[in-house]
């Protein structure tokens, strides 16, 4: 039986099984789905070549040879992954890959579903929902210079039960030129959109959502227009911290106790990309300090000579904020902000914010 995307997403008794190749799954998938590929990356590539160079019939015969020995294992994996739920299979367009496993599972007496038109239909669904999304919640937008503790405060608020959307976590990017530095996984626009929609749908009844102030783009990810507009019209809160504390937090976030060579290469590349903005003299000085593993000096110089100059809108004297909160102590700052979430209505929030 085929099932529409909207119906499938509304059910709690199904487990989404993505039967596409691991590479396809890694690029974009339905949140919460489990990848049990019919063909691995190499097999999928080979079948594509045969399909385009020889023909569909030959590709299907080769595919049959490839998949036949795997069928018992695949069936067991699907049953194990689904547990008490009904497995809901999908491939890219709802074609032969999901259909072949669907028929095998039915022959073995398993209750199974297929997603109509596959992942492509799901992507269309997400695009349409975001394009017409009406955000009812008011956004509580956290700003601050690099190292001020915006992400840490968001995590603290989340642990207190407050509704939080961490855009950088959804994007797999920390923002700015150093956003992809370190052990991070940059997500595709497709996955970001899907995860964002999921979070928004979870917070439909929330009057207030906490979020970090971002531009219209995080790395290679673009934010929906409605979200950017909602951030602009939300409550603007500035977090402040001393330079010493900010440098300390930057080092904790980016520099492990033992710095591997690959991380040094990433840092060198990120610093080098700033040459047009910093000039040769400052860039070379930063690279020299990096080479000598003077990480604290590098972090401090990046703050004073780059971030604090190019992110002036995160200073109290440079923009209009509804409140300025001292984030030297992150837990205290989060507690102060979380207090507003307990206000029963949003109508009097402005009057209760600190000056």
pLDDT at position 325 is 94
pLDDT band at 345, cuts 50/70/90?
very low
Residue after which a domain boundary falls, among 84, 108, 129:
129
Q: Both 236 and 307 in a single domain?
A: yes
Residue 296 sits in the same domain as residue 248: yes
Same domain? 292 vs 165: yes
> Quick one: 120 and 150 in the same domain?
no
Please tell me whether residues 84 and 144 are part of one structural domain.
no
Whether residues 197 and 333 fall in one domain = yes
Q: In terms of domains, do 220 and 345 share one?
A: yes
Q: What is the mean pLDDT of residues 16-21?
A: 96
Q: Print the domain residue range for 100.
A: 2-129
pLDDT at 32: 94
pLDDT on residue 317: 62
- The CATH number for 11's domain is 3.40.250.10
Of 169, 217, 154, 176, nearest to 309 (Cα)?
Answer: 176
Domain count along the chain: 2
- The whole-model pTM stands at 0.86
Dig out the tokens for 231 from the structure: 């951030």
Which pLDDT tens digit goes with each residue over 169-217?
A: 999 887 777 776 776 678 999 999 999 999 999 999 999 999 999 888 8
* 84 and 156 within one domain: no
* Order of strands across the sheet that contains 86-90: 2-3, 113-115, 86-90, 14-18, 34-35
Q: CATH code at 206?
A: 3.40.50
Considering the domain architecture, whether residues 112 and 148 belong to the same structural domain is answered as no
Distance CA 128, CA 133 (A): 8
pLDDT in tens, 54-64: 888 888 888 88
Q: Are both 146 and 77 inside the same structural domain?
A: no
Mean pLDDT of 73-77: 93
pLDDT tens for 105-146 read: 999 899 999 999 999 999 999 999 999 999 999 999 999 999
Q: How far apart are CA 355 and CA 353, in angstroms?
A: 6
Distance CA 112, CA 15 (A): 10
């Amino acid at each position: 039986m085929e099932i529409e995307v909207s119906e499938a997403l509304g059910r709690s008794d199904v487990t989404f099984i993505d039967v596409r190749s691991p590479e396809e799954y890694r690029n974009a998938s339905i949140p919460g789905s489990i990848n049990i590929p019919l063909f691995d990356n190499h097999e999928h590539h080979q079948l594509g070549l045969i399909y385009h160079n020889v023909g569909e019939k030959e590709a299907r015969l080769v595919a049959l040879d490839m998949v036949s020995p795997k069928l018992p294992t695949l069936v067991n994996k699907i049953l194990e992954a689904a547990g008490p739920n009904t497995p809901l299979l999908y491939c890219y367009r709802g074609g032969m890959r999901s259909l072949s496993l669907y028929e095998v599972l039915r022959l073995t007496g398993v209750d199974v579903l297929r997603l109509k038109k596959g992942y492509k239909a799901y992507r269309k669904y997400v695009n349409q929902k975001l394009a017409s999304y009406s955000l009812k919640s008011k956004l509580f937008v956290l700003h601050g210079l690099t190292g001020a503790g915006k992400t840490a405060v968001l995590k603290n608020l989340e642990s207190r039960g407050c509704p939080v959307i961490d855009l950088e976590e959804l994007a797999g990017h920390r923002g700015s030129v150093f956003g992809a530095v370190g052990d991070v996984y940059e997500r595709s626009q497709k996955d970001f959109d899907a995860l964002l929609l999921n979070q928004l749908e979870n917070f439909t009844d929330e009057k207030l959502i906490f979020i970090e102030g971002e531009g219209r783009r995080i790395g290679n990810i673009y934010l929906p227009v409605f979200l950017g507009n909602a951030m602009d019209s939300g409550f603007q809160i500035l977090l402040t911290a001393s330079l010493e504390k900010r440098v300390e937090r930057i080092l904790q976030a980016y520099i492990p106790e033992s710095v591997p060579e690959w991380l040094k290469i990433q840092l060198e590349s990120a610093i080098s990309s700033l040459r047009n903005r910093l000039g040769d003299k400052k860039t070379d000085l930063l690279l020299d300090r990096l080479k000598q593993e003077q990480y604290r000096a590098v972090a401090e110089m990046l703050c004073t000579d780059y971030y604090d100059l190019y992110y002036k809108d995160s200073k109290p004297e440079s923009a209009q904020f509804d409140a300025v909160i001292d984030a030297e102590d992150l837990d205290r700052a989060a507690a102060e902000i979380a207090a507003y979430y307990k206000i029963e209505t949003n109508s009097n929030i402005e009057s209760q914010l600190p000056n």
